[in-house]
């Protein structure tokens, strides 16, 4: 066995020696050397460019400092600042003109002649609010925006179910002569931006500035209930209920 191991050693050594001799032919040493030389050349060129830029920067800084010292800061800086501001103003004016042209083109392409005529009449003809409102309502009908106004469930920006429920409760308690229950509903209606009905986007859809019929109906129910409490219910209330109503209305005010 010892002799067999001794005979295997030269064989393994021969394989390693053969691989070592074949290594120069397997690895592209010439290509690696060319790549390394290219990297060195690029690094040298980068250093030279940086040195030249540094020199140019120093010369520019010296010239700028000399101009400031010779002619004064105001005279040297004034015209570049005026030029930059003029370019900015010109760019903003150009953007405004382009935007207006795009809007005009959009209206020409997608607005009917009747809608364009109504918009023009709304901006030029009306001398009273009623006249302007009439033109706006007609424009809403032409652009079919009245369908959005009539459909209370078509907008998720407000809680239409809450508004409908409160309006129904106000109407029910008023018709049933129940002032105390009516005041309890009023307590819920005094919350700020109830159900999102005061969101600005709800009033920017229609040209008249109105919003959903459900919101207007809710406001009408509030007004009717207040009028009922102030004019009719007070005659049939007991002194205790009347004082309770007065305290509530004072707090709401």
- Give me the tens of pLDDT residue by residue for the chain, a chain 253 residues long: 444 444 444 444 555 555 555 555 555 667 777 777 777 778 777 777 777 777 777 777 777 777 777 777 667 677 778 888 899 999 999 999 999 888 878 777 776 777 778 888 888 888 888 889 888 888 888 888 888 888 888 888 889 899 999 999 999 988 888 877 888 888 888 788 888 888 888 898 898 888 899 999 999 998 888 888 777 655 665 556 656 666 666 655 5
Task: Note the pLDDT of residue 19.
Answer: 54
- Can you list the positions of beta strands (E) in the chain? none
- Cα Rg of the chain, angstroms: 43
Q: Sign of the CA dihedral 106, 111, 114, 116? A: negative
**Could you tell me how far CA 59 lies from the centroid of its own chain?**
47
Task: Note the pLDDT of residue 109.
Answer: 75
Using DSSP's 3-state secondary structure scheme, residue 148 falls into helix
Task: Note the pLDDT of residue 94.
Answer: 93
Task: Note the pLDDT of residue 29.
Answer: 64
């Amino acid at each position: 066995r010892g002799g067999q191991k001794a005979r295997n050693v030269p064989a393994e050594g021969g394989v390693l020696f053969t691989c070592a001799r074949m290594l120069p032919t397997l690895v592209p040493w010439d290509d690696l050397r060319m790549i390394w030389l290219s990297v060195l050349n690029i690094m040298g060129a980068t250093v030279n460019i940086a040195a030249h830029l540094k020199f140019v920067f120093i010369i520019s800084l010296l010239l700028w400092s000399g101009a400031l010292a010779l002619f004064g800061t105001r005279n040297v800086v004034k015209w570049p600042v005026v030029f930059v501001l003029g370019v900015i103003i010109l760019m903003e004016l150009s953007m405004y003109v382009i935007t207006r042209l795009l809007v005009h083109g959009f209206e020409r392409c997608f607005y009917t002649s009747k809608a364009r005529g109504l918009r023009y009449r709304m901006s030029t003809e009306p001398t009273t609010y009623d006249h302007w409102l009439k033109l706006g309502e007609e424009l809403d009908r032409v652009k079919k925006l009245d369908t959005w106004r009539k459909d209370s469930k078509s907008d998720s920006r407000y809680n239409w179910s809450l508004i409908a429920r409160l309006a129904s409760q106000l109407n029910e308690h008023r018709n049933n002569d129940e002032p105390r229950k009516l005041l309890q509903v009023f307590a819920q209606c005094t919350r700020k931006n109830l159900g999102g009905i005061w969101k600005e986007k709800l009033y920017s859809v229609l040209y008249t500035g109105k919003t959903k019929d459900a919101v207007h109906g809710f406001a009408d129910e509030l007004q009717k209930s207040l009028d009922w409490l102030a004019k009719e219910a007070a005659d049939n209330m007991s002194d205790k209920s009347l004082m309770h109503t007065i305290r509530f209305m004072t707090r709401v005010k």
